[in-house]
Amino acid sequence: MQLEAVLISTVSIALLLWNAFARRPARARRVTRAAFVLLALASFVVAYGDAPLREAVTTPYGKADAWGVFHYYLGAKYFTELDYSSFYACVLAADLDGRRLWDARTKIRDLSSYAIVGRDDVVPCARDRFSPPRWSAFVRDVATLQGILPEGERAGVLTDKGFNPPPSWSVLAGWVANRVPLDNARAAKAVFNLDLAFVLIALIALAVAINMETASVAAIFVFLYFGSVGRLTGNFLQYLWFPALTGAVLAWRSDRYRQSAFWWALSTLAQTFSLALTAAIGLRYLWQWKRGDAVGHYGRFVAHYATWLVVGIVVGCLSGRGPGAWWEWVRKIAGHGAYLVGEVFDIGLRNLIATAASSGVTGAHSYVEDYPNVMARLAAFKSYEWIWYLVTIGALVCVLARMKHVTHRGVLGLGFVMMYVLLDLAPYYYASLTLLFAVFPVNEGREGLVVHGGLMLLNAYHAVRMPTGYVTFDWGEHLVSEILIAGLMLALFVMVTRGRPVEVSRMSDGVAEEARTQLSAGRRPGTQRRGRQARSGTGRDRRRTVAGGP
């Protein structure tokens, strides 16, 4: 798999360069399109073919990522009875009434403090929240998932970071989980593979809305993405946000801002990291308002986005735990986010600073062994936290100063930079980088080549250096990885803020974007729009018809 992933990524870069710079007849363009499609299929086979697919068919629950299913399925199904801090305590109590696999030597993470403690040192489970039938069902489900977990992972699963999705996700996922019991292995297998279906739906949407080349290159990236390679199957609604975020970006491209706001809110209510991606949209709104310009589409987006978020928050209150569930989640996610700063395999600017500041105090191969290293990095980060504040404030000031140079779609690309600066996230969330192919599509200019090539190079590098997966405890490898990711974000930041300014105060965003494009084309004689690009809604006539005005 290592060699194949590197080869596919390298050939993809070569094809992207040839596609952008070579003068090709129509037949050659068709050959290029076919090559991209074949590479996308090959990347899927590399990540999920042969043994994984055979296991998905022959085993009772498919190729389940038992670690993820353990947290997401149990957390959703019993969300009414479990609070965020008692998840592991109640799992231990269920084990005592069931298989008794975890003895007194078992280590567990105290989810109220994130400290690693002994089994008997955690606050006991509040069993009175369960009715007798629900407790019996919980005990059975814990025993079933213990059987799915590989023997070497059973103890370690209690030292992860618990259940973290917001109540809005938990209401929907809990409804599904309570109607798909683990006793029905066939139905459970189907549900545990819905995430792959979500990603495929998103890729089909890219092909229909933009072009086949863009969808194929996006597929190559997401199937071989270093943070979750081979892990799009066997989950429980963990990637529900992916098609929603795809819909938001595609609606934005087509100037359908109310629809974009709805899909973006849905993505945020599934996994709240999507909120950070709207930071650049919010900054653009404030910039236009401060200048006295008509806020137009940005104002409508912000208003509808906020409205749908309020609706989602109300839905989250229907979990049976009421509004208190949101307060519990806020406290849990605040502690969770602070801990990720010091965990070596997470991604974000603060994580890079902490990783560079301290290599830790000991070698580690598990969460238990890595806990002292996390504490050492967090302590070291305190001494250098001023760097994060300096860079963050500098980035915000620079964005506002250069906002008139940022194109309508460039605002979306800038959102990923703001996400990196503001949040520290588990690696699988950065599968969202796939949407950069929708922001900067293949066959719509050369500006996106830096992003396309950078993403493919990241996949190739990690396939060589981290062939077993991104969740490792190797300090040196992750330091280099973080530097490369930071370099990509810096390149993206420079790319979206360096364009020629266009006056936008009396133009709709779509018409202003077209004006920018014409200026760019004017610097490259002979550049013109044709074919699918014109049909996809980026041409002059379509833009002026749809955009209308603010």
Residues 173 and 224 in one domain: no
CB of 233 closer than 8 Å to CB of 196: yes
| Domain contains 369 | yes
Neighbours of 249 (CB within 10 A): 27
Residues 339 and 479 in one domain: yes
Residues 228 and 248 in one domain: yes
Which of 191, 212, 234 terminates a domain? The answer is 191
Q: Specify the pTM.
A: 0.89
Residues spanned by the domain of 74: 66-191
Residues 185 and 303 in one domain: no
Residue 85 has pLDDT above 60, yes or no: yes
Residues 247 and 127 in one domain: no
Residues 430 and 311 in one domain: yes
pLDDT in tens, 122-173: 889 999 999 999 999 999 999 999 988 887 788 889 999 999 999 999 999 9
| Domain contains 13 | yes
**532: pLDDT confidence band, cut at 50, 70 and 90?**
very low
> What share of the chain in percent tops pLDDT 70?
87
pLDDT in tens, 488-505: 999 999 999 986 664 443
Residue 468 has pLDDT above 90, yes or no: no
pLDDT value at position 503? 46
**547: pLDDT confidence band, cut at 50, 70 and 90?**
very low
- Between residues 490 and 547, which one has the greater pLDDT? 490
| Domain contains 504 | no
Mean pLDDT, residues 427-443? 94
Residue reference for tokens 């809305």: 209
Least confidently predicted of 307-316, 359-368, 428-437? 359-368
Least confidently predicted of 123-127, 174-178, 349-353? 123-127
pLDDT value at position 486? 97
| Domain contains 84 | yes
Residues 480 and 456 in one domain: yes
Residue 512 has pLDDT above 70, yes or no: no
Closest CA to 339 of 477, 161, 468, 74: 161
Mean pLDDT, residues 313-338? 92
- How many separate domains does the chain show? 3
Residues 513 and 486 in one domain: no
Query: What value, to the nearest 5°, has the Cα angle with vertex 230 and ends 229 and 235?
Result: 110
pLDDT value at position 24? 65
Mean pLDDT, residues 304-311? 96
| Domain contains 60 | no
Residue 125, sorted as left (phi over 0), alpha (psi -120 to 50) or beta, turns out to be: beta
Residue 204 has pLDDT above 50, yes or no: yes
Residue 70 has pLDDT above 60, yes or no: yes
Return the bridge partners of 115, or none.
110
| Domain contains 54 | no
**509: pLDDT confidence band, cut at 50, 70 and 90?**
very low
Residue 522 has pLDDT above 50, yes or no: no
Which of 158, 191, 224 terminates a domain? The answer is 191
pLDDT value at position 265? 97
Cα–Cα distance measured from residue 154 to residue 147, given in angstroms and rounded to the nearest whole number: 9
pLDDT in tens, 205-245: 999 999 999 999 999 999 999 988 878 888 899 999 999 99
pLDDT value at position 398? 93
CB of 316 closer than 8 Å to CB of 168: yes
Neighbours of 214 (CB within 10 A): 25
Q: Where are the beta strands (DSSP E) in 72-220?
A: 107-110, 115-118
- Between residues 57 and 256, which one has the greater pLDDT? 256
Residues 388 and 305 in one domain: yes
**508: pLDDT confidence band, cut at 50, 70 and 90?**
very low
Mean pLDDT, residues 323-337? 94
Q: Which residues contact 328 (CB under 8 A, 6 or more apart)?
A: 83, 84, 85, 321
Residue 408 has pLDDT above 70, yes or no: yes
Residues 185 and 211 in one domain: no
What's the distance, Cα to Cα, between the start and end of the chain in Å?
Answer: 50
Residues 72 and 181 in one domain: yes
Residues 6 and 125 in one domain: no
Cα–Cα distance measured from residue 228 to residue 430, given in angstroms and rounded to the nearest whole number: 9
| Domain contains 274 | yes
Which of 138, 156, 191 terminates a domain? The answer is 191
| Domain contains 428 | yes
Mean pLDDT, residues 177-192? 90
pLDDT value at position 3? 87
Residue 402 has pLDDT above 70, yes or no: yes
Residue 57 has pLDDT above 70, yes or no: no
